[in-house]
Structure 1
Amino acid sequence: MPGDLLFARQSLVLSGAGKCCIFVGHYEPVVFESHIIRARLNQNSDPDFYFYYFNSPSGRCSVESIVEVVAAAGIRASDLVELQVPRPSLSAQRQIGAVLRAFDEKIELNRRMNETLEAMARTLFRSWFVDFDPVRAKAENRPTGLPADLDALFPSEFEDSPLGEIPKGWRAGTMEDVAVCRRRSVSTTSIADDEPYVGLEHIEKKSLALTDWGRGADVSSQKSRFQVGEILFGKLRPYFHKVCIAPVSGVCSTDILVVDAKEPGLAGFVALGLSEESTIEFVTASSGGTRMPRTSWGDLARVPMVVPTDTVAAAFGDLVRENLELVRKSVFEIQYLEEQRDFLLPKLLSGEIEVAEEDAIG
């Protein structure tokens, strides 16, 4: 039920054992499986407060004290219920939980905004370059719904091609016609401790927004360098659909391809094309390996694409640029909010900082 705390009973890695999350609600009956421990708190305990406690350094340290490692790391429910935890008044618990929850709600709002902005860009990409809506409208003497300057960029008829019927004047091509793979190997000695590091674990599925990354200090092997605005494409198990636009410059895992548009005017077209479901399906089918399939630039370069005229591609880039820039700004706001939340978390839990009932964030 809402407010239940769920703990990971087992994990292949030590940091995963006892990891805590909170169940916030459901729209249909749900059950939990045997690798999860459910904790339902009494009425004198605030679920948000204890969720944040078990995700704080002191809470994690407390849980790690009961982790046993055999074949896998794990905890027992009987040990979990015996853990000593802080017991401030219920009023204080609720105030602390509310402040920290406000940060997470603002972070979630930003993530949803990013999803909406991306969805708008994807819809426009598919309308123009997959369904050819403006061309079909003109071919059938229907209004395109576009401003006159954009309407004039599209032809009013189709022609045959190896990819089937495509707008006249456009061409059947491949990803290699519009994009290039940037290969910049870098050794650990050339990576600064505070340099952003991106591994596959940092890239969210089906999201162009990269909101999390590590530090160069954590790197122990050769990596690849990338620049702001380049596209990071996860090549290990490509069906996970891990494709994002780099909001910062840094280094990344060698299991990530660094891809860039051949021309600045193609940047939006390339980014959305790389994250299209048809692109993921093509490279997945072409990947080598069974247990750990891995794609390559050779596979990605061969992805079939209908290549528009430069003017249409540039117009598309202009239209989606604002959306993608808003996503980039949101990424930094998310990072700032997470840093502030994580800074306040131990201080609020320890009582070093006290909050009034009306305290919140804007």
Structure 2
Amino acid sequence: MSSEWRTQKISSLGEFDRGKSKHRPRDAAHLYGGPYPFIQTGDITNSGGRVTSFRQTYSEAGLAQSRLWPAGTLAITIAANIAETALLTFPACFPDSVVGFTADPGKADVRFIEYLFQAMRKQVKSHAYGSAQENINLEVLRNLEFPIPPLNIQAAIADYLSLLDDRITLLRETNATLEAIAQALFKSWFVDFDPVRAKMEGRAPESMDEATAALFPDALVESELGRVPKGWRMSHLADLTSTHHGSIQTGPFGSQLHASDYVDSGVPVVMPKDIKDRRVMTDSVARVSQENADRLSRHQLIAGDIVFSRRGDVERHALITQREAGWLCGTGCLLLRPGKSWRSSTFLSMALDAAQARTWLVQHAVGATMPNINTGILGSVPVLLPPDALLSAFEDVVSATELQRSHNSSTAETLSTLRDTLLPRLISGQLRLPEALAEMSVEAAR
């Protein structure tokens, strides 16, 4: 560590204080519903490091018994999920489960302090007390000591880490936009049947060429799902996989995959906790050795597979992309493989994510304490199938979007790994910024 770094109390770098409110809206309605944002623990833990929205507000009466923290304040949770942090992007009030820190501009860069808490969260949590719900005392928080560099080095480190975070955020926002575009197209074609309705009214379908428009019929007919386009047919997942030489199978049981099999580095295993928004999240993905992956090769994933949560939120699933090819379907999941001759896994994933399919799964799940589905239930899910040529046309349109999303996810994962590796070393002074920039350049060149 450089001699420029000095061990200091956090409280010497700015002001720490906790929120004032212990009230809940049902107990003190007059304190709520006004113009002042009231930030709660959930707004911090789900913020991605920046509080940009809020669910509750304070009235003038609420503000009178609280405090309005300025934009740029670092919000720190001190109960439940301890030491989660986020910067305010607007003035707001806090409950007593949140501490605010405002940096002395001559001593600290608040962004550096936020990264410090991220890097030292385990150390901060070690001071927690309480059995039912963990808490940390405000005075303990104020007296925490860490090595702190001069202000210019704080700013340089914060700039570098913020650059990584901003790139990750941009990639994720881009993916959200791409998903919204694909979902809008799916809804127009296969839920609202806009091209069919246009042709019924004698109009040309919008935003498509004549060849694609010709694939849609000009009439709706009655079916068990209501009025659907003429010539489209009802099927079920079991029939679909059988026709296209696919399968529906259960992930490995606990007797096949034990807790002791998981390792720090190896082949990722997709669990229900990793499934979100039709994608596999890798923030906390488990891994097994290549030897165990070979042993469980029956559960190996290929692009186009769909992995469902078998317990709990049974309507959730993830579409497997080329990025996850070779990974394993994990315990607590069902693996749906449409089959090699199936034309559009993107269509099937979006159809199974539609409200009607999600509701069907929840209603047909079994289990008194926790909903469960099995291969039989999943195979019975009804699916409305358009002609193959239309499926191919849809896949042609969205395939580029899906490929870009997969690439963006891989890049964001690489940057996140790099950031998480460099963060504690930069914050502690073990790694100088020029060395970190060199490591980033090497990683970018791979």
TM more than 0.5: yes
Alignment match, 1:210: 281
The question of whether the paired residues in 2 share the 8 Å contact of 1:134 and 1:151 is answered with: yes
Q: Secondary structure at the match of 1:281?
A: helix
The structure 2 residue matched to 1:317, chosen from 376, 380, 395, is: 395
Counterpart of 2:377? 299
Displacement of 1:298: 3.5
Secondary structure at the aligned position of 2:308 is classed as strand
Q: Compare 144-153 and 325-334 and name the one that shifted more.
A: 144-153
Aligned to 2:109: 46
Q: Does 1:183 align with 2:261?
A: no
Q: CA 1:22–1:124 in structure 2 vs 1: closer, same or farther (change >3 Å)?
A: same
2:183 aligned with 1:109: no
Corresponding residue of 1:21:
85
Which protein has greater RCO, CA pairs closer than 8 Å, 6+ apart? 1
Cα contact 1:243–1:274 (8 A) shared by 2: no
Count of paired positions: 348
Measured after TM superposition, the shift of residue 254 of structure 1 is 2.6
Does the Cα contact within 8 Å between 1:210 and 1:331 map onto a contact in 2?
Answer: no
Aligned position for 1:225: 299
Q: Deviations over 1:237-291 (max 9, x none)?
A: 3278454435313234432222222333131211111222322222223333465
1:8 equivalent in structure 2: 77
What is the match of residue 237 of structure 1? 312
Structure of larger gyration radius: 2
Give the letter for the 2:112 counterpart.
F
- With the length of structure 1 as denominator, give the TM-score of the two structures: 0.84
Deviation at 1:63, TM superposition (A): 0.7
Contact (CA 8 Å) 1:197, 1:252: kept in 2 or not? yes
- Deviation digits for residues 43-91 of structure 1 (CA, Å, limit 9, x no counterpart): 32212111111111xx134313312252333322221111002221222
Worse-matched range after superposition: 234-243 or 46-55: 234-243
Out of 41-50 and 208-217, give the one that drifted further.
Answer: 208-217
The structure-2 alpha-carbon separation of the partners of 1:239 and 1:42, relative to structure 1 and needing over 3 Å to count, comes to farther
Superposed displacement of residue 329, structure 1: 0.9
Matches within 5 A, 1:1-362: 1-11=70-80, 16=81, 18-26=82-90, 30-43=92-105, 44-56=107-119, 59-145=120-206, 146-179=208-241, 180-185=247-252, 187-188=256-257, 193=263, 194-204=266-276, 206-208=277-279, 210-217=281-288, 225-229=299-303, 230-238=305-313, 241=316, 243-246=318-321, 247-248=323-324, 249-262=326-339, 263-289=341-367, 291-355=369-433
Counterpart-to-counterpart distance in 2, 1:198 and 1:8? 30
In structure 1, runs of 5+ residues without a counterpart are none
**Conservation of the 8 A alpha-carbon contact between 1:196 and 1:214:** yes
- Conserved in 2, the CA contact under 8 Å of 1:199 and 1:213? no
Once residues 131 and 176 of structure 2 are traced to their aligned partners in structure 1, the CA distance between those partners, rounded to angstroms, is: 41
CA contact (8 A) 1:210 1:244 kept: no
Deviations 1:85-128 (A, max 9, x none): 22212221111111101101100101011111111111111111
Amino acid at match of 2:397: L
Give the root-mean-square deviation of aligned CA atoms. Answer: 3.0
Give, in whole Å, the separation in 1 of the partners of 2:273 and 2:94: 25
* Deviation string, structure 1 residues 107-157 (Cα, Å, up to 9, x no partner): 010101111111111111111111111111112110113212211211122
Asked if structure 2 preserves the Cα contact closer than 8 Å seen for 1:203 and 1:244, the reply is no
Contact 2:161 2:423 in 1 (8 A): yes
Q: CA separation of 1:285/1:38 partners in 2, compared to 1, >3 Å: closer, same or farther?
A: farther
Cα distance in 1 for partners of 2:79, 2:371 equals 26
Deviation, structure 1 residue 161: 1.7
Stretch of structure 1 that moved more, 227-236 or 101-110: 227-236
Distance in 1 separating the partners of 2:127 and 2:261: 37
Q: Which amino acid aligns with 1:21?
A: T
Please tell me whether the aligned partners of residues 233 and 244 of structure 1 are also in contact (alpha carbons under 8 angstroms): no
Q: What secondary structure is seen at the aligned counterpart in 1 of 2:432?
A: coil
